[in-house]
Amino acid sequence: MKKFLFAVSILSISFALCSCANAQNVTKSPQPLIVDGKSVTSDAYNIDGNNYFKIRDIAYYMDFDVSYDDTTNSVVIYPDREYSLDAPKTESTSDISVSSSSQGVYIYNSKINGVKAYNINGANYFKIRDLAREIDFGCIYNNRKNQIELNSEFCYNSADVFGRAKDTDRLKLTFIDVGQGDGILVEFPDNMGEMLIDAGTPDCKDHLLGYLDDEIPDRKLEYIVATHAHADHIGSMRAVLESFDVDKFYAPKLPHTSKTYQNMMATQNAQNAKTDFSIGEVVKISDDVSFKFIAPIRDNYTKDELNNSSTVIMLTYKDKSFLFMGDAEKESEFDLIDSGENLKCDLIKMGHHGSYTSSYRVFCQKVLPQYAVCMLALDNSYNHPSDIAINNWHGVGARVLATSTLGDIVVTSNGNDIKAYPDEDYKLSEK
């Protein structure tokens, strides 16, 4: 059975007023509904900043059955039955009549509370986030595209990002939109723990912690990797360390005198989590999952070469591999080539936010990924990403995904395939 994950965010838009005591701001929802990447047909209303849908429409797209029980004035949801009703139809009306609805919601014989509903033009509409929470599907509101997105592979998550993969054998990577910085959460398959690679800028703390809070209910991170000491990679690391228990903390190879670095190190010392590593070391998560430290190969980088001192990791899950470059630039890329390390991977988090100082053509030709992810802010002062870097990745057949245009990017894999959400190739004209 298909279930879906959802997210609907509170949206500030101009509303048409309705003469109703219970709903002050009502309008036909202007956001398209996207299911598994495809635009679908559905009536929806935005009421006081929240989106409401007909439960039959949601049942159709999620493939569960629903019926009406007139003895209890309730809709009854059967999550494990196939949908048996008609396809959704849209209404065209200029008048909106709204009143509060007392209709209840049952899942089989169990009534669920806290699901808000309104009767709109004679039909009942339910708050989509409430349905997502109770039936365990998720959704996101994509503010860059002003659309509501559903996806069948994930569970409900209240952080407005896709939640955990429903299939426990799927690896999940989230490239969290932390602006002009890096913050990547790796969720290992079969509930084998999580790894955080970098923690963005200080300004991104609320979004980063909000995402981690929802994804890590046990408040424990098995691994943290701080790739290097620049504030756009460790700016919120102290807050993470104060909020989560950490088993192993891999500090930058090259120390720094900055207050941000010193505060991070002092906080991890309190947890006694610091773990040394050597280049070439492999950390085995299971028989199918491991990650390897492959750079910095040289140990003579100076404090002025922090980018090239970045810790570089190759993560492998069965037949798929994922390369995380930190801010590594040309010198580190060529060091890796000269080392003879197998750099072929299915996805790369490109170095230094797509700067012209990284992603050299010869390096791209060694990596040959299906996806190249660029983490950066829109209209940043550094003029990232470089047209040259983007063209180099396109030149080897990679799809470039950028947080600046897509927001949070989620990638999943069962070890044999790889899927990205959203999956939209970066166009140079979008800069």
Backbone φ and ψ for 251, nearest 5 degrees, come out as -80, 160
pLDDT score for 220: 95
pLDDT score for 244: 96
- Model confidence pLDDT, tens digit, residues 111-153: 999 899 999 999 999 998 888 888 888 788 887 788 888 888 8
CATH numeric code, 164-430: 3.60.15.10
- Can you tell me the distance from the alpha carbon of 316 to that of 344, in angstroms, rounded to the nearest whole number? 11
How many Cβ atoms sit within 10 Å of the Cβ of residue 219? 10
Percent of the chain with pLDDT over 90: 70
- Model confidence pLDDT, tens digit, residues 221-239: 999 999 999 999 999 999 9
- Can you tell me the distance from the alpha carbon of 269 to that of 34, in angstroms, rounded to the nearest whole number? 46
- Can you tell me the distance from the alpha carbon of 27 to that of 44, in angstroms, rounded to the nearest whole number? 9
Among 36-50, 132-146, 343-357, name the one with the lowest average pLDDT: 132-146
What mean pLDDT value characterizes the chain? 90
pLDDT score for 4: 35
Higher-confidence position of 62 and 291: 291
- Model confidence pLDDT, tens digit, residues 161-212: 788 888 889 999 999 999 999 999 999 999 999 999 999 999 999 999 999 9
What pTM does this model have? 0.85
Mean pLDDT of 344-373: 98
- Model confidence pLDDT, tens digit, residues 238-261: 999 999 999 999 999 999 999 999
- Can you tell me the distance from the alpha carbon of 140 to that of 146, in angstroms, rounded to the nearest whole number? 10
Predicted confidence band at 22 (pLDDT cuts at 50, 70, 90)? Answer: low
Mean pLDDT of 268-284: 92
Tokens of 52: 């409401």
Kindly list the domain boundaries of the chain, sorted by start residue: 5-140, 164-430
- Can you tell me the distance from the alpha carbon of 390 to that of 249, in angstroms, rounded to the nearest whole number? 32
pLDDT score for 30: 85
Q: Are 366 and 355 contacting, i.e. CB atoms less than 8 angstroms apart?
A: no
